[in-house]
Structure 1
Amino acid sequence: MQILNQRFRLPLWPTLAAILAIILFIKLGFWQLSRAEEKEASFALLEHYAKQIPVTLPESLVKLDDYLYNRVEIRGFFESDRTIYLDNKIYEGIAGYHILTPLRQINSTNYVLVNRGWISGGKDRSSLPIIPTPDELITITGVVVSPAIRTWSLSDKQFTGKVWQNFSLDSYQNLTGLTFQPFLLLQQNETRSDGLIRQWEKPDSGSAKNMGYAFQWFALAAVTFIIYIVLNVKRKIIT
């Protein structure tokens, strides 16, 4: 008669490696959960401010965190000669540009960079579309967002003249020598007929992706534990 005898052994280095790996995977899982919570909180804030009456932006410099996702109202003058065409922006399957124009705040030397909307690039990409820009005092209403913008491109070149592939407020500020509020404003109200589309997509919180990553890390921790147990059960047949 044969009896299967099983013994569990604890080799030092494999045990330490397994423990460290499991701890690491669990920590990464909880980190992803915390990122999901942060994104949910930011999304809730965006939803809250979207229902509020626009607040008037002060003429002095502000902090991004104090106004992020707020609807604000700004009065000032556009400077059309400093307009940027942000390339590779898609609307309903059509490639085009987002039009970014600095607005000098009234009674101030500070500027706000306004994303005025989307326009098609047209068939001839060598010719930029002409955007009518008001030169009189104007009131802009919009949503404050982070100024960091990255788009897909085939080139490492950040900009060519008025056409930019990726946008950095610091780079633009250094290039122009102007002082900007630390955000980008997504214009909502209509101004003079300029052919721009301002149907801004309402972003998803993105928390589902982080929840998925968290599950993967926790699953890796569980798999590591199971593999460790299986590999370290010594089996011996007794006759």
Structure 2
Amino acid sequence: MLVFSVLVKLGFWQLERAEQKQQWQAALSARQNATFLSYEQLLNMTGERNLTGYKLSTQVTPVSGNVFLLDNQTVDGKVGYLAYQAVEVEPEKPWLLVELGFVVGGFDRAALPKVQQLIAPMLLTGRVYQKESNPISSDLMPESGWPMRIQNLNLIQLAKVIDKPLASVVLQPNNIPNDPLVHPWQPIPLSSQKHHGYAVQWFSMAGMFALLMLYLLFNKLKQQDNAKK
């Protein structure tokens, strides 16, 4: 009964996760259909649990070559980095981390790829996201030199590296001039359909386990009945 109960609970847990993902997808769609936020409006919304999917339009000013390469990224079967640049938005306000896009890594890890940086003030538009923290490893683990290779997108630690406050979101722009890089977008790692599929698997395992236990019980009762004859 304990094993059967655990399997059934796992199935219902996956159904709950599927419902949460459906609600999250609906929220993302609503945010993408809403108007662009200003940087001030976005900063005033930092009390929300997750700001992923909101659209942002803001003027940015690249001040220095603070480019970071997030290691171990895969896009379309290619391994490389997601490149980011920290830029100033307004004096006395937190800086903003801008995603420059995906760059393919070479065979020699000592040779980092070159990235086209933002070099002039411009109006950037796009959507923002917040990466979920890795429960196993969330430290930045920065290496020396620029561009700087990092292992996790830890904005708190990254702010200490550049000695500037950073907004809690990353902007994925859609209007960088002559942008040759891919900007992957996967705000929901597992879809609701996947969770429904996992739920079916757990319920199927529970059903098979119950049938097996009934079969064993029937055989045991039959053996006991034959022993009495």
TM-score by length of 1: 0.74
Partner in structure 2 of residue 7 of structure 1: none
2:40 to 58, 64, 76: 58
**Structure 1's 230 and 134: CA in aligned 2 closer, same or farther, altered over 3 A?**
closer
Q: CA deviation at 1:159?
A: 3.7
For 1:71 and 1:172, locate their aligned partners in 2 and report how far apart those are by CA, in whole Å: 23
- Quick check: 1:144–1:185 contact (8 Å CA) kept in 2? yes
Partner in structure 1 of residue 71 of structure 2: 87
Q: CA deviation at 1:225?
A: 2.1
For 1:79 and 1:120, locate their aligned partners in 2 and report how far apart those are by CA, in whole Å: 26
Query: For each residue in 1:105-135, what CA deviation from the matched residue of structure 2 results, as whole angstroms up to 9, or x when unmatched?
Result: 2133301111121233356653334434344
Q: CA deviation at 1:182?
A: 1.3
For 2:185 and 2:52, locate their aligned partners in 1 and report how far apart those are by CA, in whole Å: 17
For 1:231 and 1:91, locate their aligned partners in 2 and report how far apart those are by CA, in whole Å: 49
- Quick check: 1:158–1:167 contact (8 Å CA) kept in 2? no
Partner in structure 1 of residue 14 of structure 2: 32
Compare CA radii of gyration and give the structure with the larger one. Answer: 1
Q: CA deviation at 1:35?
A: 0.6
User: Counting strand residues as a fraction of each chain, which structure ranks higher?
Assistant: 1
TM-score by length of 2: 0.77
**Structure 1's 210 and 93: CA in aligned 2 closer, same or farther, altered over 3 A?**
closer
- CA RMSD across the alignment: 3.0
Partner in structure 1 of residue 203 of structure 2: 218
Partner in structure 2 of residue 75 of structure 1: 59
Q: CA deviation at 1:57?
A: 2.1
**Structure 1's 23 and 77: CA in aligned 2 closer, same or farther, altered over 3 A?**
same
**Structure 1's 222 and 101: CA in aligned 2 closer, same or farther, altered over 3 A?**
same
Partner in structure 1 of residue 167 of structure 2: 181
Moved more, 90-99 or 136-145: 90-99
Partner in structure 2 of residue 4 of structure 1: none
Identical-residue share of aligned pairs (%)? 23
What residue ranges of structure 1 are gaps of 5+ in the alignment?
A: 1-17, 151-155
Equivalent pairs, count: 214
Q: Tell whether 2:192 aligns with 1:207.
A: yes
Partner in structure 2 of residue 49 of structure 1: 31
Q: Tell whether 2:149 aligns with 1:163.
A: yes
Q: CA deviation at 1:203?
A: 5.9
Higher RCO (CA-CA < 8 Å; seq separation 6+): 1
Query: For each residue in 1:45-65, what CA deviation from the matched residue of structure 2 results, as whole angstroms up to 9, or x when unmatched?
Result: 223333333221217454253
